[in-house]
Amino acid sequence: MTSTTVTTASPAAAVGAALTLDGPRPKRPSAVATSLSFGWRALLKIKHVPEQLFDVTMFPIMFTLMFTFLFGGALAGSTEAYVQFLIPGILVQTVVMITMYTGLTLNKDIEKGVFDRFRSLPIWRPAPLVGALLGDMVRYTIASIIVMVLGLILGFRPAGGVVGVVASIALLLLFSFAMSWIWTMFAMLMRTEQAVMGVSMFILFPLTFASNIFVDPSTMPGWLQAFVDVNPISHLVTACRDLMAGTAGVDQLWTVFAWCAGFVVVFGPITMRLYNRKS
């Protein structure tokens, strides 16, 4: 006598099979939606580890106060006079310096294997990178607001008003987003966070200090003036100063836009090539 075993599927399994076979196939998420999702992931990481905001809260306050009261009397005769020149520059320095943390965060995710999971998802390929950059835009905005509020307390009065300040911050955020592609490239190349930080600081220190952030380039030696004149940070600082003063020139703005486009066009494809090679 032969016995036959009959297996009855559970109701949940039956429903799942029916949805899989007969239901409509879910739409592939758009590039924008996927990037925003990864941007939200970056913000959730800040929520769970609020210490990540230390660099965008304490560093702006420290830089602004330190350089104002160290150099104000010597360079401009008083801190009140110097702060009118310094605030747009220190705003740029503060935000540009913290862009390197984008590379550190990505490198950490890569080392933990998180990006291996992302690459297996049916999503727009650059979404994890673009989302991380979008999430960092919130951090840059917080740092910008802190510098501006502190500057107003110290006596900074932008002639361009609220419109000029908002426009300069928007230009700075655009530049920071474009420049962050450099650090994403290093995140793909370097093996450790320490290596990414070391290379980033090696690049950022000459760019920020050998610029027009703290002093007028006309007081510098000729060879240094030549570097300052082609330094993208100098062009950005000049554009921000002009916007806040209400005297922005089209030529200076287009120069900054050109640098932004150059960063994305050059380092974006390199980053994606390295990213795809890791899969």
pLDDT computed for residue 129 by the predictor: 81
pLDDT tens for each residue of 9-24 = 444 444 444 444 455 6
pLDDT tens for each residue of 145-176 = 999 999 999 999 999 899 999 999 999 999 99
3-state secondary structure the chain: CCCCCCCCCCHHHHHHHHHHHHCCCCCCCCHHHHHHHHHHHHHHHHHHCHHHHHHHHHHHHHHHHHHHHHHHHHHHCCHHHHHHHHHHHHHHHHHHHHCHHHHHHHHHHHHHCHHHHHHCCCCCCCHHHHHHHHHHHHHHHHHHHHHHHHHHHHCCCCCCHHHHHHHHHHHHHHHHHHHHHHHHHHHHHCCCHHHHHHHHHHHHHHHHHCCCCCCCHHHCCHHHHHHHHHCHHHHHHHHHHHHHHCCCCHHHHHHHHHHHHHHHHHHHHHHHHHHHHCC
Q: Binning pLDDT at 50, 70 and 90, where does residue 77 land?
A: confident
Is the pLDDT confidence value at 125 over 60? yes
Domain residue ranges of the chain, discontinuous segments joined by +: 30-277
Mean pLDDT, to the nearest integer, of 116-131? Answer: 77
- To the question of pTM greater than 0.85 for the whole model, the response is no
pLDDT computed for residue 51 by the predictor: 66
